[in-house]
Amino acid sequence: MKLFSSPRVLHFLFSNWIWKGPEKNAVYLTFDDGPTKDLTPWILELLRTKEIKATFFCVGESAAKSPELIKQIMADGHALGHHTMHHENGWKTRAENYINSIVESQAYINSKLFRPPYGKITISQAQRLRKLGFKIIMWSWLSYDFDKTINAQKIIAKSEKIKGGDIIVFHDNVKAREKAKEVLPYLISSIEARGLCFKILS
């Protein structure tokens, strides 16, 4: 069973992590795993056309390969966050190596926002990151745009349950390309039609 909305019990158990944005009249659109030349430029153009801002959680090695995309994300007024240097799974990575990966990515991404790849991070890793001044950003609504078993129409149907304050996850990687292009324009228009606006995380 795919849970598009994150369980409230997780919000309670890990209350030091950020699951929802601060404003009830806004939603917080985020993108993980980029930047990629396959999809990030298209997303940036869409956001520019719609005049909305988003937050991009970038993988360090991808940022190093495409510094021009990082510059464009910033020039367009979007926010940046970390997603480790090599997209490491926190449950399978020693704490020291995990922290070093995030510190290494700071050479390419200037931010104190962090989202763990796969949503997997240990308590020890999280505590160390917070001591270094990072905010751990999770989500309240996941699009599953990367999942081959879920089609665009199901994502669109589930998006009707998005509420004010929700942090929404999409991806700007190759796996998400086709579904993102089909779903995102509809989702943005649908959310705006409900009187909600889009804001960045900070």
Q: In this predicted structure, what is the pLDDT of residue 192?
A: 96
User: Residue 2's pLDDT band (boundaries 50, 70, 90)?
Assistant: confident
The reported pLDDT for the residue numbered 35 is 97
Residue 200 has pLDDT above 90, yes or no: yes
Alpha-carbon distance of 137 to 197, in angstroms, equals 20
CATH number of the structural domain spanning residue 69: 3.20.20.370
Q: What local confidence, expressed as pLDDT, does residue 65 receive?
A: 97
Q: Is the pLDDT of residue 84 over 80?
A: yes
Compute the average pLDDT of residues 173-200. 95
pLDDT, mean of residues 105-127: 97
> Is 2 inside any structural domain?
no
Q: What is the 3-state secondary structure (H, E, C) of the chain?
A: CCCCECCHHHHHHCCCCECECCCCCEEEEEEECCCCCCCHHHHHHHHHHHCCCCEEEECHHHHHHCHHHHHHHHHCCCEEEECCCCCCCHHHCCHHHHHHHHHHHCCCCCCCEECCHHHCCCHHHHHHHHHCCCEEECCCEECCCCCCCCCHHHHHHHHHHCCCCEEEEEECCHHHHHHHHHHHHHHHHHHHHCCCEECCCC
pLDDT exceeds 80 at position 134: yes
The answer as to whether 13 is a domain residue is no
Report yes or no on 18 lying in a domain.
Answer: no
Is 15 part of any domain? no
Q: Which of 47-51, 59-63, 138-142, 173-177 has the lowest mean pLDDT?
A: 173-177
Q: What is the pTM of this model?
A: 0.96
Nearest to residue 191, comparing CAs of 71, 64, 27? 27
Quick check: is 49 in a domain? yes
Q: How many domains does the chain have?
A: 1
Please give the pLDDT value at position 1: 73
Flag whether 6 is in a domain: no
Q: Does residue 5 sit within a domain? A: no
- Please give the pLDDT value at position 158: 96
Q: Domain range for residue 140?
A: 24-198
